[in-house]
Structure 1
Amino acid sequence: MPTGKVKWFDSKKGFGFVATDDGQEVFLPSSALPSGVTTVKPGTRMEFGVAEGRRGAQALSARILEKAPSIAKNVRKPAEEMAVITEDLIKLLDGMSNDLHRGRYPDSAHGRKIAAILRTVADNLDV
Structure 2
Amino acid sequence: MPTGKVKWYDTDKGFGFLADDEGGDVFVHANALLEGTTALKPGTRVEFGVMDGRRGAQALSVTVLDQAPSVARKLHDKKRKPADEMVGIVEDTIRLLDGASMQLRKGRYPDAAGSARLAAALRAIADTFDGS
Q: Please tell me the TM-score bracket, short chain as reference.
A: 0.5 to 0.7
**Which runs of at least 4 in structure 1 moved beyond 2 Å after TM superposition?**
76-81
Q: Deviations over 1:55-80 (max 9, x none)?
A: 10000001111111111112226466
Q: In the alignment, is residue 37 of structure 1 matched against residue 31 of structure 2?
A: no
User: In the alignment, which residue of structure 1 is the partner of 2:48?
Assistant: 48
* 3-state DSSP of counterpart to 2:41: coil
* TM-score (structure 1 length as normaliser): 0.60
User: In the alignment, which residue of structure 2 is the partner of 1:21?
Assistant: 21
Extract unaligned runs of 5+ from structure 2: 82-130
Quick one: percent identity of the two aligned structures?
Answer: 56
Residues 77 and 51 from structure 1, CA distance in 2 versus in 1: closer, same or farther, beyond 3 angstroms? Answer: closer
Number of equivalenced pairs: 83
User: In the alignment, which residue of structure 2 is the partner of 1:61?
Assistant: 61
Q: CA RMSD in A?
A: 2.0
* 3-state DSSP of counterpart to 1:31: helix
* TM-score (structure 2 length as normaliser): 0.58
Q: What aligned pairs does 1:31-110 form with structure 2 within 5 A after superposition?
A: 31-76=31-76, 78=78
CA distance in 2, matches of 1:49, 1:62: 7
